[in-house]
């Protein structure tokens, strides 16, 4: 009985074609070809890392945030309207930044794409001497 079942299963499997995994996500990988480093320590408040351009999207591949020697605070990245004052769309949670801390997330491909026309912004809180960088593309 087991031999007949085994032969029937083998015959069935030989008739079926190969099975391919279903594609999830966009069909084309977006590579990031630009890096922005904050020009100075971020002050508490909201700063523009990459200015939005009408009709274009910003794709983010990664970021690095580093806090200063004796300060602590927090940081969050958002997509917001030009000037980073309105229409905030968070792309990271609020991340606590104890003194002497570095947070990094990098990928060779875009992890998130912003809505058309919005800027990439950093929202810093607390007494902060923090610098950030982001790898990105805009098209």
What is the tens place of the pLDDT at every residue in 26-54? Answer: 567 888 888 988 766 777 788 889 999 99
Question: What count of other Cβ atoms lies within 10 Å of the Cβ of residue 13?
Answer: 8
Q: Tokens 């004052």 appear where?
A: 85
Span 29-138 CATH architecture: Sandwich (2.60)
What is the tens place of the pLDDT at every residue in 49-88? Answer: 999 999 999 999 999 988 876 667 888 999 998 788 877 8
Cβ partners under 8 Å of residue 65, min gap 6: 75, 95, 97, 102, 103, 104, 122, 130, 131, 132
Q: pTM of this prediction?
A: 0.75
What the block records as the tokens of 18 is 């190969």
What is the tens place of the pLDDT at every residue in 101-117? Answer: 888 888 888 889 999 99
CB 77 within 8 A of CB 124: no
Q: Tokens 């917001």 appear where?
A: 80
Structural domain boundaries of the chain? 29-138
């Amino acid at each position: 009985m087991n031999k007949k079942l085994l032969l029937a299963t083998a015959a069935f499997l030989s008739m079926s074609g190969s099975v391919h995994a279903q594609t999830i996500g966009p069909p084309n990988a977006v590579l990031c070809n630009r890096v922005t480093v904050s020009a100075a320590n971020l002050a508490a408040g909201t700063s523009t890392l990459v200015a939005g351009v009408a009709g274009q999207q910003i794709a983010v591949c990664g970021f690095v945030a580093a806090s200063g020697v004796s300060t602590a605070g927090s940081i969050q990245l958002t997509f917001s309207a030009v000037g980073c004052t309105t229409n905030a769309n968070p792309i990271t949670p609020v991340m606590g930044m104890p003194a002497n801390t570095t947070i990094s997330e990098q990928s060779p491909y875009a992890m998130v794409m912003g809505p058309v026309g919005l800027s990439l912004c950093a929202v810093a809180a607390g007494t902060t001497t923090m610098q950030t960088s982001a790898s990105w593309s805009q098209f």
